[in-house]
Each structure stands twice: as structure tokens, then as C-alpha cells.
Structure 1
Amino acid sequence: MRAILIDDEKPALQHLERLLAKDGRLQVAGKYTSARLGLQHLEQEKADIIFLDIGMPEMNGLEAAEHIMKVDRNIRIVYITAYSDYAIDAFELNAADYLLKPVTAQRLNKTLERLVSREEQAAPQPAAAEQADNPWILCFKRLEFMDRNDAGRKTLWRTSKAQEVLALMLHYRGQWVLKDMIVDLVWPDFKPEKAVTNLHTTVYHIRKLLKTWGMEVTVEFSQERYRLVTGNAPLDVEQFVQGWQGGAVKDEQDWERREAVLALYRGDYLGEHHYNWAEAKRKELQANYIQMSLRSAEYELDTDRPRQALARLSALQEVDPYSEDICRLALRSYAALGDFPGFRNHYDHYKMLLQNDLGIGPGSIMDSWVQNAF
């Protein structure tokens, strides 16, 4: 695997290059003291992995990551910085790992083991190869398509109603849905004749859009009902449901597999659209995501990775700020780091949030546990 190193501090670059050379599993194809030079390299040559410093002048690592993803979404990024405060933002930008300076040989070895393991698991299988040529259908956060061969390609919806009708058909994919049900949900205030006309026009535009994207997806009509058949087109929600596991993480390989599944969850199911008919499924998938993420955080704590666990849990609290389970594991992370001011501030903020928003306090067992911690 080919790697490039980007850090504005030359001693840090040289130190990392020496560690990688001694390890021997990666080939260093270039090292640069600015993100712009690194991006110029990627425009000329491909790389598998980028070791990227976050705190750089002109263009910091998180900004650079946005540009890197546009060049090649398959590149894996390992962020390196002296400040753990960036962990949450880094992991939101598809981080393969996160290293704190000064980088040690022992910690780097763990990162390389994960990267090599992912490379082996990513070896194409026949079924996966078929899917790779098909654009992905994404329903987490918003409905859109993703072309793996053209990361910048946009899904151009003729109308917001076309987007909603397709989302509704995907919601019931493979099942026949009455035409009257669709018009009642999508055009509730229209006269029946006008609503049906709009539906026919909308379905025409959906079929045209699917054809433009070369999707193996068909919209069928029979006996006043519609059905969406997705064929081999990969669907993020379907992949998430198939890969979801709610039990304890068994080992590192199990953790890696779960990370790939959790990465599919870009946001709540059709969250940006606020469709009432999608609400029950949105809550179900969100609960599953939180449960699976908590099990991964527990494993990270058990394997001496409290910073990684804390970054995950801080992001989870944005999803469910009132969860006692998330707060409890975050407190365990602070305790493992020896950050007792952070421990106290986190708990005080949680208590205040519950009181101000819900008019309640934390459970007595948790409160007693926190008080005994000091």
C-alpha cells in the first residue's frame, strides 16, 4: 500500500517516515509540509493512505480532508495532531484512525494492523464486484445517489415530490403500494384528479432519472398499485440492517466489521426530509445505531482506547443528548484518561440539561456512582 505524509513540522514528518520505514508494511510515496502540495500529488498519482496533520496553516487537515474525498473517496486518512479536541470532527470525516503526537511505534503498529486488516477484507468478492459498478442509493440523512466512479456527481431531482415518491417506494421496496395511498401521503391537499396526474408525471421523471444513472431499479405498475424493484443496486439502509449487531464486540476483526456498518449511518433515516410516514423507521434505525455504537465504545474502553471511545460518545450525544448509557460511558472515558475536571464538567452539564429540558435528574444509581468517584 502506498502512503503520503502531510505535516507542516519537518521533524514530525521525518519521525513518522522513520517509523514507517522500520515497520515496512507501507511504501511512503511522498511527504509534504502543506496540504496543497499533498493534494497536487494526489492529482498526479494515487495513494491508498494519507497520514494528515490537522493543525496546519493556510489549510488545516480537516479542510484538506474535504478536498481529498473529492479526489478519491476510497483514500483512508489517519489524522495526526497534538490536540485531542479535534477527534470528533476527524471521525466525522471518515477517519481510518486518529493518532496523538508524539506518535509511538506501539500505537502506530495498532493503526497499521487495522489498515492491513481492512485491506484484506476489502478484497473484491464476485457479488461485491457486481455492486461496485452500480450507484449506491443513500437514505441515511437524505435520499440521493452516489456514483463511486464520480464522487462529485449530484442527484438532480426534477421536484421535491419526485424525491418523496421515490423515498416512499424505497420505504416499501419490493411491496405493492396502492396508488391512492401514495397520492394521499404526498399530495394530501390536492383534488384526486390533479394528484393522480401529478403522480403519473412524477413517476415518469423518476424512471428517467434512474435511467440516466444507469440504475438497475425499475418502477412497476399493476392493478392500481406501484412497486419498486431495486435489483443489484446497493442500498445503505439495507446494508446497515444486514450488518447490524447489538451484542458485545468479540474481537478486533468484529470491531472492524462493525465500523464498516456504522459508517453507513450518515444521519437519521431520511432525516432532512421530515416525512411523517418515515418517523417510526427513523426512530428504530436510530436506536439500533446507538446500541451498536455503544457496544463499540465499550470495546474501545476495554482495549485501552479511551480517547477513541470519547470521540465516538461525544458524537453520539449529539444524536441522543439525554441518554444515561452514553453519559455513563463518556464518564468512564474521562476517568480512564485521568481527566477528572472533564469528568465533573461533563456530568454537571448532563444534569443541567436534564433539569432544564425535561425537569428531571439523573437516576439515583448513576448519581451515587458519580459521587463515589470523588
Structure 2
Amino acid sequence: MLKVGLVDDRYIDLDKLNGIVAGIPEVEVVFSTLSAEEAYEHIKKENVDLLIADIEMPNLSGYELADIIHSHALDIAVIFVTANSGYAVHAFELNVHDYIMKPYSRDRLVKSIERLLEKTKTAGIIGRLYIKQKNDIHIIQKKDIIFIERSGRSTTIYTKTGPIKTYQTLNELEGELRERDFLRSHRSFIINIHYVKNFSLYAKNSYIVTFDGIEEQAMITKEKVNFLQNHYF
């Protein structure tokens, strides 16, 4: 199911988006708002796969919203639906999925979303991580990773079904875990934010992280806790 957020400061345009998107199979509208600021709050708190946004809006623009998504490497596709063609070149520098000019037909938007749906289906292999050991390669689902710890010269990947050890470094694994779910919380840890249960103050600038389902714990810096609060929760 593709989770979609909609934002346009004109009610008539937002209503048109709702009418089209809500009728597409395998698509769920998780929020619909007239305010880009409100859309930003939704993005921080909810899982969103696609944002469909107007560009020119008061205060925070759709372009600025897409720039936030791009600069924080959030795993959210963007479709601009706008009456202004002047942002097209800059928009594709942000790697947006599509740039649709108003007025547009229902078919134009539906085909764009269906194209994204196909892309996400064929990219299913991206959801797996290949863990190299001396004589074996483990294939695990990224969604099953709770956290990863580097200790000495080895790395332990804690999953829902148990730990897996590898010689791969955190830097190597971090390059494979660019989804919004994962955060380099500390020089020795990568955490999956969906399993986090609690942060407990450990020292002036660090916290202990506890997780649902396992007793093992990780570390997170104060800076990264602040980042989570500002951009995820």
C-alpha cells in the first residue's frame, strides 16, 4: 500500500487531488491539508511514501518542503502539481518523481502514481541486506533489523530472529541503509527508529536506547536525539 500525503493551499485543487488519489487501488491518503507547515508535521510523525504538493504556498512553499525531504534523505517521493513552470529545473535537482502542470487530467496524475507503484514493486530487492561472513552470505529483510553495533573489529546486527555477526563496517552498512527508518545514532551504532522503546540519560551528551523485543541496548548522542525529535516525532 502506497501511503500518500496531499498539500495545496487552494481548497478546490486539494479537493480534486483527494478525489483522484483516493480512487487509485493500492493507495492510501494518510493526510490532506491546505498548509505546508501542517504537511511537514505529518511527515515527521507518520509513514509517508509519496507527497503530492503545490509549489507556491504562503509561508512554507512546496519547493521548500521537498528540499527538506531531499536534504534529510527521507525516503519520500514527491510529485509537484503546480501552475508555475519556473521551478521545473530546480525541482528535478531535488530528484522529484514528477512535475505536473495545472490544469491537468485525472489520467495524467493516475499514470504518474501507477508508475511509482511499479517502481516500488520492482525495487523490492532493495529491501534486503546481504551480510558477508567468512564463508557465507546472509540475506535479511531490512525491516527486521532492530539495531547494529560495532565492537572492536566485528559488527553485530540484531534482528527479530537473533544476532548476526559480520566483518563489514558500520560505514559500509550505513551506505546500504539509507531509508528513513535507520539512523546512525552514535559512532558505534545504527538504530531502526521503529523499534525504539525508550531513551535513558547515560551521560551529559548521550543516552541509552532500549528496544521492543530484545534486551540488548544501543547508544545515541544528545544531538541525534534532538534530530529525531525535530524530524521524526
TM-score, scaled relative to structure 1: 0.36
1:265-285 CA-to-partner distances (Å, cap 9, x unmatched) read xxxxxxxxxxxxxxxxxxxxx
Q: Which residue of 1 is the match for residue 22 of structure 2?
A: 21
TM-align CA RMSD: 3.1
* Structure 1 CA distance for aligned equivalents of residues 96 and 44 of structure 2: 21
* Structure 2 CA distance for aligned equivalents of residues 214 and 44 of structure 1: 23
* Structure 2 CA distance for aligned equivalents of residues 78 and 125 of structure 1: 22
- How many residues are aligned here? 150
After TM superposition, give the deviation of residue 71 of structure 1 in Å: 5.8
Q: Which residue of 2 is the match for residue 360 of structure 1?
A: none
* Structure 2 CA distance for aligned equivalents of residues 87 and 151 of structure 1: 30
* Structure 1 CA distance for aligned equivalents of residues 103 and 75 of structure 2: 27
**Is the CA contact (8 Å cut-off) linking 2:8 and 2:57 kept in structure 1?**
yes
Equivalent position SS for 2:125: coil
* Structure 1 CA distance for aligned equivalents of residues 63 and 32 of structure 2: 18
Moved more, 86-95 or 116-125: 116-125
Q: Which structure has the larger Rg? A: 1
Q: Which residue of 1 is the match for residue 223 of structure 2?
A: none
After TM superposition, give the deviation of residue 33 of structure 1 in Å: 1.1
Q: Which residue of 2 is the match for residue 87 of structure 1?
A: 88
Instruction: List alignment gaps of at least 5 residues for structure 2.
Output: 132-141, 143-171, 191-233
CA distance 1:125–1:5, shift in 2 (3 Å): closer
Q: Which residue of 2 is the match for residue 129 of structure 1?
A: 129
Q: Which residue of 1 is the match for residue 38 of structure 2?
A: 37
* Structure 2 CA distance for aligned equivalents of residues 108 and 125 of structure 1: 26
Q: Which runs of 4+ in 1 moved over 3 A?
A: 69-72, 146-153, 212-215
Q: Which residue of 1 is the match for residue 220 of structure 2?
A: none
After TM superposition, give the deviation of residue 115 of structure 1 in Å: 0.7
After TM superposition, give the deviation of residue 134 of structure 1 in Å: 1.1
Q: Report the residue type matching 1:135 in the other structure.
A: E
1:174-208 CA-to-partner distances (Å, cap 9, x unmatched) read xxxxxxxxxxxxxxxxxxxxxxxxxxxxxxxxxxx
**Is the CA contact (8 Å cut-off) linking 1:43 and 1:71 kept in structure 2?**
no
CA distance 1:93–1:135, shift in 2 (3 Å): same
**Is the CA contact (8 Å cut-off) linking 1:5 and 1:28 kept in structure 2?**
yes
Q: Which residue of 2 is the match for residue 6 of structure 1?
A: 7
Aligned pairs for 1:213-228 (under 5 A) are none
1:76-111 CA-to-partner distances (Å, cap 9, x unmatched) read 111111112211111111201111112311111220
Q: Which residue of 1 is the match for residue 98 of structure 2?
A: 97
* Structure 2 CA distance for aligned equivalents of residues 150 and 112 of structure 1: 23
**Is the CA contact (8 Å cut-off) linking 2:7 and 2:35 kept in structure 1?**
yes
* Structure 2 CA distance for aligned equivalents of residues 149 and 105 of structure 1: 30
Whether 1:107 aligns to 2:108 is: yes
Aligned pairs for 1:154-169 (under 5 A) are none
Instruction: List alignment gaps of at least 5 residues for structure 1.
Output: 138-145, 154-211, 216-374
Whether 1:78 aligns to 2:117 is: no
CA distance 1:27–1:53, shift in 2 (3 Å): same
**Is the CA contact (8 Å cut-off) linking 2:81 and 2:101 kept in structure 1?**
yes
**Is the CA contact (8 Å cut-off) linking 2:75 and 2:180 kept in structure 1?**
no
Equivalent position SS for 2:104: coil
CA distance 1:124–1:7, shift in 2 (3 Å): same
* Structure 1 CA distance for aligned equivalents of residues 180 and 45 of structure 2: 17
* Structure 1 CA distance for aligned equivalents of residues 123 and 130 of structure 2: 14
Instruction: State the percentage of identical aligned residues.
Output: 30
* Structure 2 CA distance for aligned equivalents of residues 78 and 213 of structure 1: 36
* Structure 1 CA distance for aligned equivalents of residues 30 and 73 of structure 2: 16
Equivalent position SS for 1:134: helix
* Structure 1 CA distance for aligned equivalents of residues 84 and 180 of structure 2: 35
Q: Which residue of 2 is the match for residue 53 of structure 1?
A: 54
TM-score, scaled relative to structure 2: 0.56
After TM superposition, give the deviation of residue 38 of structure 1 in Å: 0.3
After TM superposition, give the deviation of residue 66 of structure 1 in Å: 2.1
1:139-184 CA-to-partner distances (Å, cap 9, x unmatched) read xxxxxxx85558886xxxxxxxxxxxxxxxxxxxxxxxxxxxxxxx
